[in-house]
């Protein structure tokens, strides 16, 4: 059975809701968090999405801090991450943080859906 759950982490409510609408329309389930701390709490509650869409710059806990903590926890360390940002340095950040890739804001929704579809069959041992 495929895992069609995606964790969307962004401090912008409108972006979270927009991504939620697009992903649900494509048959995905979503989990939403406004920062890295909320995302970590969701993951530690037992949720195991096939992919994390992670905004680069957020208050409370940014992407770099979240990634460091996520990778230190055995059960959730292998959940793939795609960084999201309007920053000109998003590609370099994705390389530096060793994520699976990046999505530039504003989004190309076809590119977003192609990325998410590529991870829906992720079979990780939990």
> Does residue 77 belong to any structural domain of this protein?
yes
What's the pTM?
Answer: 0.90
Distance CA 86, CA 16 (A): 15
The domain in which residue 24 lies consists of 5-119
Q: Is 124 left (phi over 0), alpha (psi -120 to 50) or beta?
A: beta
Write the CATH number for 96: 3.40.50.2300
Q: Is the pLDDT of residue 1 over 70?
A: no
Domain count of the fold of the chain: 1
> Does residue 126 belong to any structural domain of this protein?
no
Tokens of 30: 């979503």
Q: Strands, E, within 28-99: which ranges?
A: 29-33, 51-55, 81-85
> Does residue 28 belong to any structural domain of this protein?
yes
pLDDT tens column, 102-119:
999 998 999 999 999 888
pLDDT tens column, 30-79:
999 999 999 999 999 999 999 999 999 999 999 999 999 999 999 999 99
């Amino acid at each position: 059975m495929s895992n069609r759950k995606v964790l969307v982490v962004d401090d912008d409510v409108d972006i979270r809701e927009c991504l939620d609408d697009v992903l649900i329309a494509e048959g995905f389930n979503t989990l939403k968090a406004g920062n890295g701390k909320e995302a970590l709490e969701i993951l530690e509650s037992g949720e195991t999405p096939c992919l994390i869409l992670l905004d680069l710059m957020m208050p409370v806990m940014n992407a770099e801090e979240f990634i460091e903590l996520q990778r230190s926890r055995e059960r959730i360390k292998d959940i793939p991450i795609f960084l999201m940002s309007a920053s000109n340095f998003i590609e370099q950040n994705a390389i530096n943080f060793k994520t699976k890739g990046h999505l530039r804001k504003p989004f190309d929704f076809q590119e977003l859906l192609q990325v998410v579809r590529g991870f829906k069959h992720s079979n990780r041992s939990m």
